[in-house]
Structures are given as structure tokens and as C-alpha cells.
Amino acid sequence: MTAQRQPFGRAFYLANGMEIFERLAWYGFFSLSSLYLTSPISQGGLGFSDQDRGYIQGMIPFLLYLLPVLTGALADRYGYRRMFLCSFALMAPGYFLLGQVHSFWAFFAVFLLVATGAACFKPVVVGTVGRCSNDSNRGLAFGIFYTMVNIGGFLGPLLAGYLRAISWDLVFLLSSCWILVNVLPAWLWYREPPAPGPADRRSLRQVLADMQLVLGNGRLALLVLPLLFLLLISPRLDNPAPLLWLAAFWLLLNLAWSLLQSGASTTVATTAWYRQPLRVGNRAFVLYLLILTGYFTAYMQLFITLPLYLRDYVNTADLVQLLAHWLPGSLDYLAAVNVQQLADALPGFATQYQQALLDQQALPNQQAIETVLADISRQLAHHKIQLPTSVLAQGLTALAQQQTDALILASDWRAQYRQINPEYIVNLGFLTIVLCQIAISRFIMRWQALPVLVGGTVLLALGLMLCGLSATAAGGGLLAIAGVLLFSVGEMVTSPKSQEYVAAIAPQRQTAMYMGYYFVAMALGNLFAGLLSGWAYGYFGLNIQQPVLMWYLFGAIAVLTAGALCLFQLSLSRSNSSAQTRPISSY
């Protein structure tokens, strides 16, 4: 029987409004974070390596999306409004402090503060959407919600991209202000959306105990958590091999212990927790989360890897030419170049090149010259300049021989070889979702969730591969835009449907808690995405000079995820007698 359509209510619209401002703050920083973390200190960045950048972008979002497992349960117990206010109290000062710290661990610690606040916010806003909708309008509700996410995702980088040309400090100040705006509606107007059934009066201990119903028992936690801890610290070690051996030993030790206990005659109810067999809670749901990990690993590359790839490898001169013809006034915004900053850097580049020429005369080595020019080209990419190697060598020689002035040369290169800001190309995905999400949600709401997830994931994979090919094409800018738009179609099909899927199977009293477990897949996906991005960018880009291969790798992960979802759907269809899988397979 189809549930009667109900109005969404005030809490639904207030939550969606607060989501816009929270996304303005997050994406205003995070979409530019790769550029900020790797930009030279002389340009206001932190000058971190790709490995450091990948570690931060993997670890912090991992913790951000893992914490909702706890904060979602606490919200169900202590109230959504309290959790909203708690999140804003953490995020507002956290965003501001991000611009005031410059060492690796200080930045990591402040970013963790922001992540903790965001982890308090996420399950509550999604839980509000889930509580305010039913089977008749849940697809539309999450389509509206996802549109609000992308309104913030579109406007945040658009404003922050302009401010970073003035000062990076303004980017963090603006993010802090967006969070402060949310305090007013949360404090004055937001009220708890009603939960079906009796009020939740469980103790905190019971809330934490109920969390085991989804993932499994304490024995499983004892196995997984130490392995997870070893994974977190291994990237910071020069030689992670001992940790790999330790992880293997811990895994074998737990398996051996389980075998020893398997012959015990006592029941699970009367056996101490450490003597119980390994047990997964809702097996189908846990398997679904593990498969989604692959999706989010590929998905996050658009935000943490593509901006760097566009900056370092993709020539967007075709877009500059189109804008110069149709909207010439937009170039100073979309392709802004700080001429004075570039001019200040050019004498150092000229000296570096001339020294390489002198070394080449003493010990002929043409490859060393090419290496120096490639290094200078990468540094010029930070200034949003990309030019042929022959023009670079000619200009640096003229500057070293005082045949031209640094300011004149910088102005000339700005006029001829400027590039579009990477964040604006990535930002087109958010605009596409804002314009099309509700229509697509209406179109796909009649279909079952898992087949839709498979199709959307394949589209996402194709979009990633197109983005990678943009570095090898003459019209690289247009091809990158095509890749971003195709990626966005896949995202519009997949992401809200995956959340709708969880909301449909969650017990109403535990909506926020189940949404918190949905974020486990996002947590693991962000973890692997960050670590993979840092390694792949260094290996494929710098070591073997084949950066396009990493996009084939990212696309392959998405394709394998789509295949795993197909197998998952097939297994559910064949096991409809299981009590745990019946609610999922019937959806």
C-alpha cells in the first residue's frame, strides 16, 4: 500500500536552509584545500607535499564521516536541536583558526576540530529529512536536500575562489561567518521533528549498545579497530613494513582464537564477550556499506585530485579564448593572475635556468635542462600560467640577459598563457546538480534503488576517465568540463538514491543512527581516496610522468564498485528468506 503524501513541515525547510550555509563553509574551503595545502608559502599556501596533502585529506574526512556513528545515536537520544548548536560551537572558531596555523600537526588538529563539528551536524540534518518524509515523498525529499547541498557547494567555491586571490585568510573568515549564520534559525525556530512511536528514553549505555546491532559484536571491534589504527599511522612512517607484519599477526591471532573458542559448549548469551565468535550485525547492510566504500573512493577524486590535475597538467587555453571572445570581462575573475607576484618570482626562475645552462656546459646533460624547465613549469602552474617549454626558455634567457623586465614579461605571459582557475571548472558540477537534481530525482524515483546505483556509478567512472584524457587533448578545458558534467549526472543519480535507500530501511526511532552508519562508507571512502590520491599523484605524475593513468585507476575502482552492486542485488534476490535481508531486498 502506498503511504499518503504528507507535507514536509517547518523543520524540513529549516534543516535544508542550514545545510546550504554549512556547505558554503565546507566547500568554500575544502574545494580549494588541495591548492592551499600544496601552494608555496610565498603565495600564502602551506607548501605541503602531495603525501602530506593526501594524508590530511584522507584522515580528517575519514574521522568526520566515522564520528556520525556516535553523534547520530546521541542525537536520537538527546535531541537534534542540541546537536545542531553543539556543531556550530565547534565549527565557527575552527574554520577561523585554520587560517592561523601553518605547521602540519597544528593544521591537522584544527581541521579535526572542524570535522568534529561537521560530524555532529551531518546525521542530524539527514535524520531531519528522513523523519519529515515517508514512502510517498522520500525520493523527492532527498532530491531537495541534495539540491541544497549543491547550492552551497556551488556558491562556496565561487566566492572563496575570488577571495583567495586577495588573501587566503579571507577564505577561512568567510567559512566561519557562514556557520555563525546558522546559529539563529537553530536557536529560535528549529523544533524536533516528531518521531513515530513512543519517545526515546534510552540511556547512553543502551544507545551505545544498540550501535552493535548494525556492525557486530565486541569481538569484531577488537579485530577491526587495531587494524584500522595501524592503517592510520602507517603513511607517516618511512618504513611501514613492520606494521604490515604486525597487522598480519593480529589477524592470524584473532582467527586462531576464534577457532579455539568454536568448540565451546556455552551459548553466546552466557559467554564473556571476548570468547564469543566474530559476529556481524546486519550483514546485508554492512556489505552494502563496504561496497559503497569503493564508490566514495572514486567519487572524492573530483574534489581532492582534479583541481591539482587541472592546475598542473591541463591546458585550458581553449576556455580562455572562448571567454575572451564572448565574455572578456570575466577573465579577470575566472582566470585571475597576480602579475606582481608572478614578476617577483621570475628572477629566481631565470637564475635557476641559467645555473642549469652553466652546469650543462661543464657536464653536457640535456635531460637535466629539461628537468629544470619542467620544475619551473610546475611552479608557474601555481601562478595559473602554462606555456610551451620553448617560450619559457626564451623568456627566462631574455630576463637573465636583461633584454626584458620581469613585470613586462609577467604581463605578457598573463595575456597569452593564463589559465582558468581549477576550482571554477570543478564547480560546474555543483551548478549542474542545482539545476537538474530535482528533475532527475523525480524521473528516477519510480525505479528500484540498486539498479539506479549501478548505472550512476558507471556514468561517474566515465566522467573521471574523460577528466583524465583532458591533459592529452587540444581542447583540454572543454573535455574537462564534459568529464565534470558527466560525473555530475552519475552523482545526481547515485548519491541521493543511496541515502534514500538507507532511510527506507532504518527503524524510524533510529533514523539518525542508521544515517550515521551510512557515513561509515563515506569515512572509509575518504580515507582510501586521500591516501590513494597522494600516492597516485606522486607516482603517476612525478615519477613516471603518466598522470592520465591514475584516472584510469580511479575509473576502474568505480566500475568494479558497479559490478559489486550487481552481485549484491543478485545475492539479495536469491536469499529473500533471510530476516536480515528481507527489508532490503523488498525495497
Place 196 in a pLDDT band, splitting at 50, 70 and 90.
Answer: low
Question: How far apart are the C-alpha atoms of 115 and 22, rounded to whole Å?
Answer: 12
What mean pLDDT comes out for the span 232-247? Answer: 79
Residue owning grid cell 556499506: 289
> Which of 140-149, 278-287, 312-321, 474-483 is the least confident region?
278-287
> What is the predicted pLDDT for the residue at 236?
74
Burial of 41 (0-12, 13-18, 19+ CB in 10 A): exposed
DSSP bridge partners of 385: 418
Confidence category of residue 585, pLDDT binned at 50, 70, 90 = very low
Q: Which residue has the higher pLDDT, 450 or 357?
A: 357
pLDDT tens per residue across span 115-174 = 999 999 988 898 888 888 877 777 788 778 878 888 998 999 999 988 988 889 999 999
Amino acid at 575: S
pLDDT number for residue 210: 64
pLDDT tens-place string over residues 87-112: 999 999 999 999 999 999 999 999 99
Rounded-to-integer distance, Cα 410 and Cα 415, Å: 9
CA 160/CA 172 separation, integer angstroms: 9
Cell 539540491 found at: 147
Whether residue 270 has pLDDT greater than 60: no
* Pick from 116, 119, 112, 84: nearest CA to 98: 112
pLDDT in tens, 551-574: 999 999 999 999 998 898 788 777
Question: By CB neighbour count within 10 A (0-12 exposed, 13-18 middle, 19+ buried), where does 192 fall?
Answer: middle
pLDDT at position 286 over 50: yes
Query: Binning pLDDT at 50, 70 and 90, where does residue 470 land?
Result: very high
Grid cell 590520491 is found at 533
Quick: pLDDT tens for 419-460: 999 999 999 998 898 888 778 878 887 787 778 889 999 999
C-alpha to C-alpha distance for 354 and 375, rounded to whole angstroms: 14
Residue 577 pLDDT grade (very low, low, confident, very high; cuts 50, 70, 90)? very low
pLDDT average, residue stretch 303-312: 95
For residue 297, give the C-alpha cell.
573512493
Sign of the CA dihedral with 372 first, then 374, 378, and 384 last = positive
In this prediction, residues 481-499 reach a mean pLDDT of 89
**Is it the case that residue 177 has pLDDT exceeding 90?**
yes
- The half-sphere exposure of 421 on its side-chain side, counting CA atoms within 13 A, is 26
* Global confidence as pTM: 0.87
- Does residue 266 carry a pLDDT above 60? no
Q: Count other C-beta atoms under 10 Å from residue 402's C-beta.
A: 8
Could you give the CA distance from residue 330 to residue 161 in angstroms, rounded to a whole number?
A: 13
Residue type, 447: W
Number of residues written out for the chain = 587
Q: Round the average pLDDT of the chain to a whole number and report it.
A: 85
More confidently predicted of 583 and 426: 426
Is the confidence at residue 186, as pLDDT, over 80?
yes
Residue 166: its pLDDT value, please? 85
For residue 309, name the pLDDT band (cuts at 50, 70, 90): very high
Tell me the per-residue pLDDT of 31-44, one tens digit each, with 9 for 90 and over. 999 999 999 888 88
pLDDT score for 582: 41
Alpha-carbon gap, residue 530 to 58, rounded angstroms = 4
- Please choose, from the candidates 411, 414, 347, the residue with its C-alpha nearest in 3D space to the C-alpha of residue 386: 414
Provide the pLDDT for residue 107.
Answer: 96
